[in-house]
Amino acid sequence: MGGEKMKGDKEIRHRPHWFEQFLEGWSVFWQNPLGKIGVTLLGIFALMAFSSFIPPLVNPMYHPMTGVDPEIYSSVGPSARHWLGTDFMGRDIFSQLLAGARIAFMVGVSAAFMSIFLGTAFGMIAGYMGGFVDTLLMRLADVIMVLPTLLVVLILASLFGQLNIWTIVLIIALFRWPGVSRVIRSQALTLKQRPFIEAARVAGASHIRIIFRHIMPNVLPLAFLYMTFRVTAAIIIEAALAFLGFGDPGTVSWGMMLQWVWKTGHMFKALYWLLPPGICISLITLSFYMIGRAMDEVLDPRLRREETAR
Amino acid sequence: MEIKRYLTRRIIQILVSFFVILTVLFLLFRLAPGDPVSRMIDPSMSPEDAEHLIAQLGLREPIWRQYLVYVKNFFTGDFGYSFHYGRPVLKVIWEKLPNTLLLFTSSIILSALVGIFLGKIAAWNKGKPLDSWMTIGALVTHTVFLPWLALILIWVFAYKLGWFPITGIISEEIWLDPDAGALAKALDVGHHMVLPMATLFCIHFGSYLLIMRSSMLETLKEDYILTARAKGLRESVIRDRHAAPNAALPVVTSVGLSLAFSINGGALTETVFTWPGIGRELVFAVSQNDYPLAQASFLLIALVVLAANLVVDILYAYLDPRIRY
């Protein structure tokens, strides 16, 4: 009974506190030019992703993968009919670009979400449990951290054959949690010493309850910060994989577009085809990175060092 | 000695990490769908040769015996035969290793030095337009998509302006010319190296600049900087002799932390420029299903990353006398 009452009190006190914190954080975030530019850029990409279903509805020849202009069989420069020109098969580059935005969001957000989930869970467990579990998880993190993720995915692609986009997302997530887990772990280590955890333990809360109910709310903001950096990492890895020719052949991603322009030998002839996908990958990376840095300043200025590990 | 103990511990950790990687790779290669025999034996080999190799690798024996053979072969440098080259894998990658090390180390060191230098200047001019421009420039060059940057550099400097060769590492006419001296050959390699190096440099120096900048800003708040000012030292002395060396330490750490990321970039750069290094060899091996070559290149890259991490640790212990483990 007593435990129930305590929990209730805490929640009532917690909610406005969280919401206010969010509003305050947002105003700091929005004052930062990096945050403003980042969010604006991201909004543009989100718009692109949402409107990617429109071109194929207008005319089937605008389908990014299968649509071919019946009058064009090669790469032709921009025109009113094809705003950014066509690729080597006569497919519309602009609609491919829109479809690429959707794939980038899909890959980036889902891989980041999964790796943050794993990293937060492992970090909290390692920090809270300590001892053998901690050593084991952190050694595992050390090993994974020195592996170049792109090359790992390449090796797996050679062993398991053509990977589809969700497998790629899963592999990226499995190899990108250690960075997050270390930060969350150190946070959990300090939280463990706080009186409210002690109180929860005395009140008879189980380990699982303490971890998810009392530690997790306190590490989540940090986890979200890392999520923005993981998104960029995931987008870059997928794009690089597709660029090397090991992407999912059933999807049109920006990396795939670059591979087509490079492998079909159009890169010297078709700047209208070479420029857009590269600019898009670079800008979406930049926007997530800027948002991450702006959030960084909101949350904790001491975190700046980890960024490079991406 | 404390440092000695610390380094011994690190070396043991690194060896354990390597063994884990070695073992996981073994399991992956044996447990992946498909026949491990066809994965290790060149399909174009004659049946007798194939039988000989199967016996040598122990492919028909229980899996734990195979593992022992695998570990033994690794330490005796026997990685099998490359399907594509028809030569021992170790020979193939041993030839490529210097090319990778040359390109990779020179561009990492150059970008760290330039990043430290520019980060110092940016922090010193905090809030001024110079600082803003440097920060924005660093963010942009750091996040640009590497293979695309490589293609653009090729387009501008090799194709339009014609200043540099488009791909490769040497020009045949110079290397086949018996009169060409060592200097001419070295210059030729240098000429080929400019664009790949510029690519890797662009991607890396930005992050080092940003780290140096924030670290320098922290350092400038320290008491000993105030002491230096109170002593009436010149500003440039405070900046270059008192603040910068300490502020540069996090950059050293980050070079180590971001190595895995840099290796990805190295492989992409080598592939676009057809620079004959290990990264490109791995990409090529994967695309050709040349499993022995892929396996060995991956192991060698992992070994290089681990060794480089150790070097960074040693460097750090040496650079920062306050650190005593």
What integer best gives the mean pLDDT of chain B? 83
Overall average pLDDT of the A153-167 stretch = 85
Cβ-defined contact of B145 to A285 (cutoff 8 Å) = yes
**Does the CB of B102 have a partner CB in chain A at under 8 Å?**
no
Task: Tell me what pLDDT residue B14 has.
Answer: 86
Overall average pLDDT of the B133-162 stretch = 89
Largest alpha-carbon pair distance within chain B?
83
The Cβ of residue B235 has, within 10 Å, a number of other Cβ atoms equal to: 10
The beta-carbon neighbor of A151 closest among B29, B140, B301 is B301
Euclidean distance between CA atoms B92 and A81, whole angstroms: 51
Q: What is the pLDDT of residues B172-209, one digit of tens each?
A: 777 777 777 777 777 878 888 889 999 999 989 998 99
Say if CB A92 and CB A67 are below 8 A apart: yes
Overall average pLDDT of the B136-140 stretch = 89
The beta-carbon neighbor of B139 closest among A155, A239, A289 is A289
Which residues of chain B from 118 to 157 reach within 8 Å of chain A, CB to CB?
139-140, 142-149, 151-152, 154-155
CA–centroid distance for A97 within its chain? 19
Q: What is the pLDDT of residues B75-103, one digit of tens each?
A: 887 877 788 887 888 888 888 888 888 89
- Chain A hits for B285, CB-CB cut-off 8 Å, are 158
**Does the CB of B288 have a partner CB in chain A at under 8 Å?**
no
Task: Tell me what pLDDT residue B118 has.
Answer: 93
Task: Tell me what pLDDT residue B167 has.
Answer: 79
Task: Tell me what pLDDT residue B75 has.
Answer: 84
Residue of A nearest to B290 (CA): A158
Euclidean distance between CA atoms B146 and A212, whole angstroms: 39
Task: Tell me what pLDDT residue B111 has.
Answer: 93
**Does the CB of B292 have a partner CB in chain A at under 8 Å?**
no
Q: What is the pLDDT of residues A40-61, one digit of tens each?
A: 999 999 999 898 888 777 777 7
Task: Tell me what pLDDT residue A16 has.
Answer: 52
Q: In this predicted model, which residue has the larger pLDDT, A160 or B276?
A: B276
Q: Please report, rounded to a whole number, the percentage of residues in chain B having pLDDT higher than 90.
A: 13
| pTM across the whole model | 0.85
Task: Tell me what pLDDT residue A111 has.
Answer: 92
Q: What is the pLDDT of residues A64-123, one digit of tens each?
A: 877 777 777 777 777 777 777 787 777 888 888 888 999 999 999 999 999 999 999 999
Domains and CATH numbers, chain B: 3-75 (no CATH), 92-319 (1.10.3720.10)
What integer best gives the mean pLDDT of chain A? 81
Residues 6+ apart with CB under 8 A from A51: A98
Task: Tell me what pLDDT residue A300 has.
Answer: 56
Residue B29 has pLDDT above 60, yes or no: yes
Q: What is the pLDDT of residues B210-238, one digit of tens each?
A: 989 988 888 888 888 888 888 888 888 88
**Does the CB of B282 have a partner CB in chain A at under 8 Å?**
yes
Task: Tell me what pLDDT residue A114 has.
Answer: 93
Q: Which among A138, A142, A159, A228 is the top mutation candidate for probing chain B, defined by the most B β-carbons within 10 Å of its own β-carbon?
A: A159
Q: What is the number of H-type helices and E-type strands within chain A?
A: 13, 0
Residue B62 has pLDDT above 50, yes or no: yes
Euclidean distance between CA atoms B119 and B116, whole angstroms: 5
The beta-carbon neighbor of B250 closest among A267, A268, A305 is A305
Overall average pLDDT of the A244-268 stretch = 86
Residue A305 has pLDDT above 60, yes or no: no
**Does the CB of B294 have a partner CB in chain A at under 8 Å?**
yes
Specify burial of residue A132 (Cβ count, 10 A radius: 0-12, 13-18, 19+).
exposed
Alpha-carbon gap: B212 to the closest alpha carbon of chain A (Å):
10
Task: Tell me what pLDDT residue B1 has.
Answer: 57
The beta-carbon neighbor of B260 closest among A146, A156, A268 is A146
When mean pLDDT is compared across A206-215, A226-235, A253-262, B316-325, the lowest value belongs to B316-325
Res. B325 pLDDT band, cuts 50 70 90? very low
Cβ-defined contact of A278 to B148 (cutoff 8 Å) = yes
Residues 6+ apart with CB under 8 A from A306: A179, A183, A226, A229, B257
Res. B147 pLDDT band, cuts 50 70 90? very high
CA–centroid distance for A115 within its chain? 9
Task: Tell me what pLDDT residue A198 has.
Answer: 82
Q: Please report, rounded to a whole number, the percentage of residues in chain A having pLDDT higher than 90.
A: 17
| Count of CA atoms in the C-beta half-sphere (13 A) of B100 | 24
Residue B285 has pLDDT above 80, yes or no: yes
Euclidean distance between CA atoms B83 and B92, whole angstroms: 11
Cβ-defined contact of B21 to A147 (cutoff 8 Å) = yes
Res. A2 pLDDT band, cuts 50 70 90? very low
Residue B318 has pLDDT above 80, yes or no: no
Torsion of CA A278, A279, A281, A285, to 10 degrees: 140
Cβ-defined contact of B214 to A282 (cutoff 8 Å) = no
C-alpha Rg value of chain B to the nearest Å: 24
Amino acid of residue B305:
V
